[in-house]
Amino acid sequence: NLSGKTAIVTGSNSGIGLGVAIELAKQGANIVLNSFTDRAEDHALAERIGAEHGVRARYIKADMSVGEDCRALVHAAGGCDILVNNAGIQHVAPVDEFPVEKWNAILAINLSSAFHTTAAALPGMRERGWGRIVNIASAHGLTASPFKSAYIAAKHGVVGLTKTVALETAGQGITCNAICPGYVLTPLIESQIPDQMKVHNMDRETVIREVMLLRQPSRQFATVEEIGGTTAFLCSAAAAQITGTTISVDGGWTAL
């Protein structure tokens, strides 16, 4: 049970981040949602989660591509007991044609943001003698595919940062781990299914099995609830000695 703990989840107004935030709220944690927008619906989402699960939930706007914003998010939240570094973007292009601004944005949002939020969150965790840092990496933090150089470099970097932070916090009641999802069925992925069906002239089930999940041996998507559940496990007492490691939630992808 995480009641009384405060969890910041970066990039959490949709997809995996939102799923993780809802799961932590179910466990009783107070929630800080985040993205770079500041819309009424962002704040309404936090209000709804708070009301549904009987916890305090707030939305704080901060752009994870900007280091000072990342640190300001943690300070505006008044520190946190649980930090989930989830914000991330993707761009696909051959390395010799990769747009420099996309490279820089992906490294900033997918990797450097976790450095900044972790640096800002650690002093408070040390004071309280308890902390959980969960970095949402990827199967692409452990293995590669062509045309995703920035994403894969950043996610491998997240795994390296995870191990280093674990060593620097070992024995202090703080753990730092990375979750490495394979394909997760998020609204973004869901929205690609109709196009893929058209391009390949296949029905939904076939395009999922034969095209989208070709590298995922289970041929099943992971769900945001499963990533949330894995995060909650890493925050539980049973996981107190799990630190500096990765947990794959990838239907066997990295076992291949």
Among 186, 216, 231, 243, binds ligand NAD (CB under 6 A): 186
Q: Token pair 């994870």 is at which residue?
A: 64
**Residue 198 CB, nearest approach to ligand NAD (Å):** 21
Among 161, 183, 208, 253, binds ligand NAD (CB under 6 A): 183
Find the distance separating the first CA and the last CA of the chain, reported in whole Å: 36
**Residue 92 CB, nearest approach to ligand NAD (Å):** 13
Encoded one letter per residue, x for contact with ligand NAD by CB under 6 A and - for no contact, window 12-41 reads xxxxxx-----------------xx-----
Catalytic one of 151, 183, 221, 253? 151
**Span interacting with ligand NAD, options 75-83, 85-93, 160-168, 231-239, rule CB under 6 A:** 85-93
Residues in region 44-73 near ligand NAD by CB under 6 A:
63-65
**From CA 85, how far away is CA 187, in angstroms rounded?**
19
Among residues 50 and 67, whose Cβ is nearest to ligand NAD? Answer: 67
Total length of the chain:
256
**From CA 135, how far away is CA 57, in angstroms rounded?**
21
- The secondary structure element, H or E, covering residue 50 is helix 40-53
Under the criterion CB under 6 A, does residue 138 sit at the interface with ligand NAD? yes
Active site annotation includes 151:
yes
Show the beta-strand stretches assigned E in 70-195.
82-85, 131-136, 174-181
**From CA 21, how far away is CA 15, in angstroms rounded?**
10
Among 157, 181, 228, 244, binds ligand NAD (CB under 6 A): 181
Closest CA to 32 of 14, 66, 59: 59
Q: Residue type at 211?
A: V
- The secondary structure element, H or E, covering residue 248 is strand 246-249
Which residues form the catalytic set? 151
Q: What residues line the site for ligand NAD (CB under 6 A)?
A: 11-17, 35-36, 63-65, 86-89, 109-110, 136, 138, 181, 183-184, 186, 188-189
